[in-house]
Structure 1
């Protein structure tokens, strides 16, 4: 056996690891395919000014990133993007959503949308606290 450590992203290795996890999961939960879900907003010039990206799998919406440009913050765009993303997740049969964010980023934003804090990682200087949130749709 040979063990390697690398800092380079190796798509082939990553895909092999994900495939291994999927095969294991299928033995316990049946076949399921992760499906990307993205909602984006563009300005009149076609520049991205905000968006949410994640995936749906096992009837859950896993939110990976949400961003709104400074020029659009406070306008309700983030909420609009999340509402549209969650509507699509529900259409896909999702019954819950989950996200993690840093304490200085958006835990309050997600809580206003009905997410509940289900865990935190604290006291790991110099890293800020990490907040895990969950929302059940049904």
Structure 2
């Protein structure tokens, strides 16, 4: 087999990216019985989960972007517009995402990453536990990973 030089790209090649994901998933499934059992089931798919709060004009007031995979909810983003903060919208968004993930997608747990100046306290108040802290990511900031059992 002839090896070619490394090829570095900054543009997304969707076909190659999907191939890479597929090959890695196959290798992971072969190495782990648990991941192997997930193959071909609904829990093996990254399924988006979005919860929005819109005003009467349809403008975004608050939102949560997440996905479910392997019986876990992964919260990517949760945001509430400044004038609406403190009114419980963030709590309601998170609770609804957790409910949907648990009741409709059989998720057993949830995870989120947040920076020290964002919302680690918010997630702790909602039952999340800190499982890791990465200092200086990005420089001068700590990133927290928090998890919570659902149900």
Normalising by structure 1, report the TM-score: 0.90
Cα distance in 2 for partners of 1:72, 1:2 equals: 53
Residue 81 to residue 10, structure 1, CA distance change in 2 (3 Å)? same
User: What residue number does 1:65 align with?
Assistant: 77
User: What residue number does 1:6 align with?
Assistant: 9
Helix, strand or coil for the counterpart of 1:55?
strand
Helix, strand or coil for the counterpart of 1:126?
coil
- How far apart are residue 6 of structure 1 and its match? 2.6
Unaligned runs of 5+ in 2: none
Unaligned runs of 5+ in 1: none
- How far apart are residue 127 of structure 1 and its match? 4.2
- How far apart are residue 38 of structure 1 and its match? 1.0
Residue 50 to residue 8, structure 1, CA distance change in 2 (3 Å)? same
Among candidates 21, 30, 52, match of residue 18 of structure 1: 21
Question: CA offsets per residue over residues 115-135 of structure 1, 9 Å max, x none?
Answer: 000110114563411111010
Residue 118 to residue 13, structure 1, CA distance change in 2 (3 Å)? same
Relative contact order higher in (CA < 8 Å, ≥ 6 apart): 1
- How far apart are residue 51 of structure 1 and its match? 1.1
Q: Return the index of the structure with the highest Cα Rg.
A: 2
Among candidates 79, 82, 90, match of residue 102 of structure 2: 90
- After TM superposition, the runs of 4+ consecutive aligned structure 1 residues lying more than 6 A away are none
Cα distance in 1 for partners of 2:53, 2:94 equals: 11
Residue 49 to residue 21, structure 1, CA distance change in 2 (3 Å)? farther
